[in-house]
């Protein structure tokens, strides 16, 4: 009996085994991306929960406060976590695009603020960033604030291009540190066709 190592012969792996190996590596990479995004979301929620008054517990953050004079403050910084639905995918095709994202906002006054956001589809790495000027009208008696916004952004991958957008939404504040929001915008890319983007999520103020 002559071994393969002694004769110098190279033993080839079956093609199906090679395919399985490639698929396993790809699957592991996707799982690592998803775990990374989940870790970022958990860290953001933890930081948001620790912000604000030191004596404020996590449970208190979600309570609706009836007696608060105003839930919309000047010099307010907030973190958004949201889901998205777009009428076109990341390639600009006319297919539904579901995803999620995060954003930050800063209000110089109760009525005027600036914001930045990014969102992903199918758990891909973020490839766009948007900036907006925000105008809101707080209705303190019910903790509600209609708002409008407009701005621009940049897509760095798939179809690299500049974009402009305009839209509006509604935010419901439970207290100065927590609220729910939903909005829609029309996006106008300079290369692909325009589309609609809808967001809904939670907002942590601190």
Distance CA(128)–CA(160), nearest Å, equals 9
Is 81 exposed, middle or buried, given 0-12, 13-18 or 19+ CB atoms closer than 10 A? middle
What is the H or E stretch that residue 31 is in?
A: helix 15-50
pLDDT of residue 4: 45
Measured CA angle at 159 (ends 157, 164), to 5 deg = 100
CATH 2.40.50.140 fits 50-205, yes or no: no
Query: At 160, is the secondary structure helix, strand, or coil?
Result: coil
Q: Quick one: which of 151, 173, 152 has its CA closest to 162?
A: 152
pLDDT of residue 22: 47
The full length of the chain comes to: 206
Identify the DSSP state of 50. Answer: H
The per-type count for the chain, helices as H runs and strands as E runs, is 2, 8
pLDDT of residue 37: 54
Query: At 2, is the secondary structure helix, strand, or coil?
Result: coil
pTM attached to this predicted model:
0.71
Is 203:179 a contact under the CB 8 Å cutoff? yes
pLDDT of residue 96: 77
Q: Which residues contact 72 (CB under 8 A, 6 or more apart)?
A: 107, 110, 136, 138, 140, 145, 173, 176
Mean pLDDT in order along the chain per 10 residues (206 residues)? 47 47 50 55 53 56 79 96 92 85 97 96 81 97 96 94 98 95 97 95 93
Locate the domains of the chain by residue range.
50-205
Model pLDDT for residues 119-174, shown as the tens digit of each residue: 988 776 778 999 999 999 999 989 999 999 999 999 998 899 999 999 999 999 99
């Amino acid at each position: 009996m002559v071994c393969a190592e002694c004769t110098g012969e190279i033993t080839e792996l079956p093609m199906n085994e090679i395919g399985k190996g490639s698929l396993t590596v790809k699957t592991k990479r996707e799982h690592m991306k998803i775990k990374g995004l989940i870790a970022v979301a958990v860290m953001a929620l933890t930081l948001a929960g620790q912000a604000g008054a030191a004596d404020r517990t996590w449970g208190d953050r979600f309570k609706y406060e009836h007696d608060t004079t105003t839930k919309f403050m000047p010099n307010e910084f907030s973190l958004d976590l949201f889901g998205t639905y777009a009428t076109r995918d990341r390639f600009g095709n006319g297919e539904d695009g579901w995803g999620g994202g995060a954003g930050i906002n800063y209000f110089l006054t109760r009525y005027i603020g600036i914001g930045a956001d990014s969102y992903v589809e199918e758990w891909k790495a973020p490839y766009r960033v948007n900036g907006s000027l925000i105008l809101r009208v707080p209705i303190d008696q019910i903790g509600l604030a209609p708002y409008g916004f407009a701005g621009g952004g940049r897509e760095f991958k798939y179809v690299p291009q500049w974009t402009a957008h305009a839209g509006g939404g509604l935010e419901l504040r439970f207290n100065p540190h927590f609220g729910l929001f939903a909005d829609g915008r029309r996006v106008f890319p300079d290369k692909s066709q325009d589309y609609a983007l809808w967001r809904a999520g939670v907002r942590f103020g601190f």
